[in-house]
Structures are given as structure tokens and as C-alpha cells.
Amino acid sequence: MRPDKVGIDAGGTLLKMVYEESSRFHYKTYSMDNLQSSMKWLKMTASGASFALTGGQSEFLKNDFFPNAITVSEFKANCEGAAFLMNQEGRTKENYLLINIGTGTSIYLIKAREYTRLLGSAIGGGTFLGLGKLLTGETDFSKLVSLARKGEAAAADLLVKDIYHPSKPPIDGSLTASNFGKVRINEKVSNEDKIASLTNMIAETIVLLSMQSASHHQIKDIVYIGNTLKNNKLLKNRLEHYTKMLGLNPFFIQNGEYSGAVGAFLSL
């Protein structure tokens, strides 16, 4: 059975697809560097289908491959796709922040089914890949995630308790005083430690930005999506830990990295 509708989220790094078959959603991801492979797959399996496109490369795809496709704003697609996926999990919420950690990070406010983009940050998956390469020479996302999982951020990060030692610190001693601040005095920092520290820095930055937005708009629930979270247990752990530390409620959606593609699909 060929799919008759396909939603595509074409970002700077990845192309994500969603289609429905036998009343079930199916998900596929391709690298934008391997675009011809994804187009070949679509030609074989979805010829004659209707397409909806979103993401930074959506106009390029429309012009070169899908002249009859509709385009959906990334903002609309992410918010509506995430809401749909949450509803599928029985997690319907009226008011929350949606944090999309892609190449960079975008923060959306959802209130009573209306959504507003609040702000963005250049810290995100692109930072993880770029600094990951500079720090270790590794370029593969999954291998960097594996390195982070085996490392100790505290080997590279200067903690509050390090500054106050041997005295008792006035605040939680496990908090980071300076990301990578211990590298200059610790010559035994491994590649695993470096990427664990990088992951921690990304999580701290995103949570602090989210907290400021949540406080201003009186929001307690924070929903995290984005491909940078895929199989990235350490990043999820750090986001959850810091979010709870600030008195907020973190949520992660199954297949949340496909929110944009799902939102595009729903527009057909």
C-alpha cells in the first residue's frame, strides 16, 4: 500500500519524513548530505502522493523536487505536530513552553491552543556537533553521544564545591561554576569527559533560557523536542535534572524530533 500523504521537515542537517500506512505513522530520517537517496526512496514508494514541506530547506525541495507541494511555516508545524503527538500519548496540555532543540534552539509559548515564538538560541545540536569535532575530532552524532555517556562532566567543569573547598559552599556544591573551567588544571580530561561537559553546558544554557521565559509567562510545564535529543540519554537526563531543580515540570515526547514533519502532514 502506497502512502497518499507525506509530511517532510527539511532542516539544515536532516530531512525527516512522516507518512501514514494502515492507520499508523511511520517515520524516516535522512541526512541532507544524502538527499538523492531519500528522493529515490520517495519516488519508489510514494509516487502520486501529496506532499507538505516545512523547515529551512522546504523552498529548495519544493523548487527542485515537489513543485505541487504545500509549504507550512516551521513555527506552525512544530507547535501543531508536538500538540498532536502529546495528545496521542494522553498528555494533552493547555499551557506550556515548547523547546525545540534542533541545529539551534527555539522556544515557543503555547497558551490555550495559541502559540507564540518567544526567542531562540544558537546553542543546540549544531553546537554539539561543531564543538564535538573541535574537542575530539569526531563528527558522527551517535558516536559523540556515546562518548558523552561514558564521561564525567565534573572532570572538565569547575564546580561550586571546587571553589569553596575545603569550606562548605553556601549553595549546592554540585552546580557548575564554570563550564570547562577545570581543564587548565586537569591534564587528564578524556574525550569522554569533554563531550559530557559539552552536553552539560548545552543543557544548562537551554534550561536557564527556558526558566526565564517560564517565569515571565507564569508557565510550569516544559516540553522538549528536537533531533538533538534522539538517543541522547545524558542530554535528556541533564535537562530533566536542571528543569526540576528550578521547580518546573519537564516532559519528553516519543518521536518528538518528528514534530515538524507531523505538523506538515496534518496540514494535508
Distance from chain centroid for Cα 24? 24
DSSP string, 54-92: ESTTHHHHHHHT-TT-EE--HHHHHHHHHHHHHHHTT--
* Cβ within 8 Å of residue 104, ≥6 positions away: 120, 121, 122, 123, 124, 125, 126
* Cβ within 8 Å of residue 215, ≥6 positions away: none
Q: State the DSSP code for 232.
A: -
Distance CA 197, CA 76 (A): 33
* Residue found under cell 555517556: 149
* Cβ within 8 Å of residue 194, ≥6 positions away: 135, 136, 147, 151, 156
Clarify whether 74 is annotated catalytic: yes
Angle at 40 between CA 39 and CA 42, to 5 degrees: 65
Q: Are 242 and 203 in contact (CB under 8 A)?
A: yes
Q: Are 9 and 77 in contact (CB under 8 A)?
A: yes
Residue of 74, 80, 192, 204 marked active site: 74
Burial of 156 (0-12, 13-18, 19+ CB in 10 A): buried
Distance from chain centroid for Cα 101? 3
Q: Which residue numbers are catalytic? A: 74
